[in-house]
Amino acid sequence: MSKYNLQSVSFALIVLILVLMGQTESTVGQRITAPDDVKETSLIANTLKVKEDNIRTPQFVNSEPRRTQTGLGERLILSLEPEPIRRTEPPPEINASSAYVKELGADRALFEKNIDKRWPLASITKLMTAVIAGENIKPEQKIVINENAVSTVGYSGNFQIGETFSTSDLIKAMLIISSNDAAVALADFYGYEEFINLMRNKALNIGMFNSVFFDPAGLSILNQTTIPDLERLVNYISQNHPSVFEILSERGANILELKSGEERFIPANNRFAGRHDFNGGKTGYTDEARGNLVSIFKFNGKRFLIIVFGTENRFDETEKLYDWLKRNI
């Protein structure tokens, strides 16, 4: 064979080798990238159907789809077009100084606004007054309404000097119609200053370190708390004195004047009282605090705490937060 023929054959072999190598690389590249185009491969589509059946569709924006442990499985799932999901709508505009929504017992709140801001409690103070009276005065104890109680500013409950009621009935009047007279009568019976000290000590014992108490009715602007502290009080009452919120969930209650035997109906001053989903709550209002409201609602078998401080429309603001909660839980 001549030198020129040998060179021609060698050149042809080199070209053939390069062509074969190019086809191999192309085939390998197709195998690597094939899973990205799942619609063109029936086998991959069937695999995706199996994977899809085992995927739990996320219900909220921040949820992540479950992925398999293998790289291939993960890539197949990520190539799926997600099904429509229910997105969490933004919370409503709340015209309150502070506000809060949380499932009782849960770790995280659903809504927060200025929760660490200290605010006058107003008549929400009476939740602590009910705790101290319930723990330190016998429920059947007869308590005479004195002049100091009747002269107290605010709701009276139609009490008169010299009338006698049991501790339990005065607690009902204090909670349901927010009677300042009943609150002062309870404190006076025990000893006013000693009663206030018990309120302060109880606050410290249950972790209400940003709260202060100066009177049993909530008339003083110095009676102040934060939303986290109030939540601690709500939790304490729910665990140790559940009857307090049971009383507060009713449209009203009958109390008995012991001297005359006259029964008196005390109507609730809470718009939510008597609703099937309302598990109790306490109103509060002074000129400085404006409208305060703490409420517990039961929805889908769970109990939710809603608090608003410093608003002119405490019931409307609470209702807006509750409606938002129901649409997004």
Q: How confident is the model at residue 8 (pLDDT cuts 50, 70, 90)?
A: low
Is 33 domain-assigned? Answer: no
Identify the residue with better confidence: 68 or 247: 247
Mind listing the pLDDT tens digit for each residue in 222-241?
999 999 999 999 999 999 99
Residue 322 has pLDDT above 70, yes or no: yes
pLDDT of residue 149: 95
What SS3 class is residue 318? helix
Of 72-76, 155-159, 224-228, 321-325, minimum mean pLDDT range: 72-76
Local confidence band at 18 (pLDDT 50, 70, 90 cut-offs)? low
The verdict on residue 236 lying in a domain is yes
Q: Span 193-217, mean pLDDT?
A: 98
Domain assignment present for residue 162? The answer is yes
3-state secondary structure of 117: coil
- CA nearest neighbour of 314 among 99, 154, 104, 89: 99
pLDDT class of 110 with cuts at 50, 70, 90: very high
For residues 146-168, give the mean pLDDT.
91
Answer whether residue 318 shows pLDDT above 50: yes
CA 127 to chain centre: 19
Q: Residue range 161-175: average pLDDT? A: 98
Contact assessment for residue 235 and residue 118, using Cβ atoms and an 8 Å cutoff: no
Asked, for residue 322, whether it belongs to a domain, the answer is yes
Residue 78 counted as domain residue: no
Give the residue carrying structure tokens 């309120």.
199
| DSSP 8-state assignment for residue 87 | P
Helix pair angle (192-205, 180-190), 10° resolution: 100
Spatial distance between the Cα atoms of 91 and 120, rounded to a whole number of angstroms: 25
Q: Assess if residue 174 is contained within a domain.
A: yes
Q: Which residue would you say has higher pLDDT here, 299 or 59?
A: 299
Range with top average pLDDT, 32-41, 74-83, 102-111: 102-111
SS3 11: helix
Lowest mean per-residue pLDDT among 8-12, 147-151, 234-238, 324-328: 8-12
- Token look-up 């190539």 returns 79
Give me the pLDDT at residue 76, please.
Answer: 35
Q: What is the rounded distance in angstroms from the CA atom of residue 180 to the CA atom of residue 170?
A: 10
What's the pLDDT at 157?
79
Q: Which two tokens stand for residue 184?
A: 């002062």
Distance CA 36, CA 78 (A): 10
pTM: 0.74
CA-to-CA distance for 190 and 291, rounded, in angstroms? 30
In a domain, 288, yes or no: yes
DSSP one-letter code for 121:
-
Question: What is the DSSP secondary-structure string of 209-273?
Answer: TT-B-S-SSS-STT-EE-HHHHHHHHHHHHHH-HHHHHHHTSSEEEEEETTTTEEEEEE---TTT
pLDDT for 88 equals 77
Give the model's pLDDT for residue 154: 80
Average pLDDT estimate for 22-34: 43
DSSP assignment letter at 276: T
The number of domains in the chain is 1
**87-102 pLDDT per residue, tens:** 578 999 999 999 999 9
Q: Which domain holds residue 231?
A: 98-328
What is the pLDDT of the chain when averaged over all its residues? 82
Yes or no: say if 198 and 216 are a contact pair by the CB < 8 Å rule: no
Q: Does the structure show a pLDDT above 60 at 70?
A: no
Residue given tokens 């099937």 in the structure block: 276
Identify the CATH number of the domain in which residue 133 sits: 3.40.710.10
Maximum Cα interatomic distance, the chain, rounded to a whole number of Å: 139
Amino acid at 320: K
Spatial separation of the C-alpha atoms in residues 91 and 79, rounded to whole Å: 33
Query: Which residue type is seen at 263?
Result: E
Q: pLDDT at position 158, please?
A: 83
